Amino acid sequence: MATNGNIGLNSGSILDCDSAQVGPGHGYNPFNNPGDYCPLTYGNVSLPPVDPADVATNNSNGRICNLDPVIGTPCNQAWNATTKILHLNSNSAITLGSSGGEFNYAFCQVVLDAKSYIHIANGAKVRMYFLSPDSPPCLNQGSPLILNSKAKIDPTGSDATSLAILVVGSDTKSTNLDFNADASLFTCEQSFVIYAPRTTVTMNSRTSICGGVAGKSIVVNADAVIQASNTANEFELPPQGSTHYGPPADFIECSSTPPGPTAAPDEGC
């Protein structure tokens, strides 16, 4: 656990780790707990902003309600492709991606009502991008991700990059990820990453997260738990300006002779 500021511990809180890093001149604040805690080290944390590149237009969103069916909520109510808002009613579910593929989804907001689920297909690698509230169609969207009571995001793979939740956020507008009572991001048999360097992550009572979490600030309320995954440190942020490849628009035929080592990959197609 590392921060450029203080680590605040209120009554009943537990910080269990081998070491904890705070910013120079900072420490535990407030400190209302008896007992011994991690030895402090001092340093600075660098969290580069998320670069969405072209994911707003070049993405896997076209799969939603087609190859990625929604169960329990009519698709015309669950998904708005124009506003990029996915809202699953109670007891609804969607599975993103398919085995062996890599998928980038672009959202302005995702809301999961009580007991609704987002499943990640077994063997798929999925990035869920939440776009900036500084530009359309997400203007002034302050709550990009909301999980209500007993809602769950559930990858089925154990790879550290099976799921990454990447939040662009804003330097001028407040954004918050809200995990409400009993909401969870799967079990510690799996791993994932929430990367939100310009966004507050708020976990309310009995919420659980297992993986790696980076945010502008992280608030962990009554009976909420973050358990770090040993494989989460394998995650690498997509490079600045990276291009996101969506599914091909159609099939094209190529010659049977492979192009030479200096030729363009699509030569002869």
Nearest to 66 by CA among 81, 51, 52, 56: 81
Residue 137: asked if its preceding bond is cis (omega within 30°), the reply is yes
Q: What is the pLDDT of residue 252?
A: 46
Q: Report the mean per-residue pLDDT for the chain.
A: 82
Q: Which residues of the chain have pLDDT under 50?
A: 34, 245-252
Q: CA 209 to CA 196: how far, in whole Å?
A: 15
Q: What is the pLDDT of residue 246?
A: 45
Q: SS3 for 238-250, per residue?
A: CCCCCCCCCCCCC
Q: CA 21 to CA 44: how far, in whole Å?
A: 8
Q: What is the pLDDT of residue 26?
A: 85
**Model pTM?**
0.81
Q: What is the pLDDT of residue 258?
A: 62
- The domain limits of the chain are 1-45, 47-234
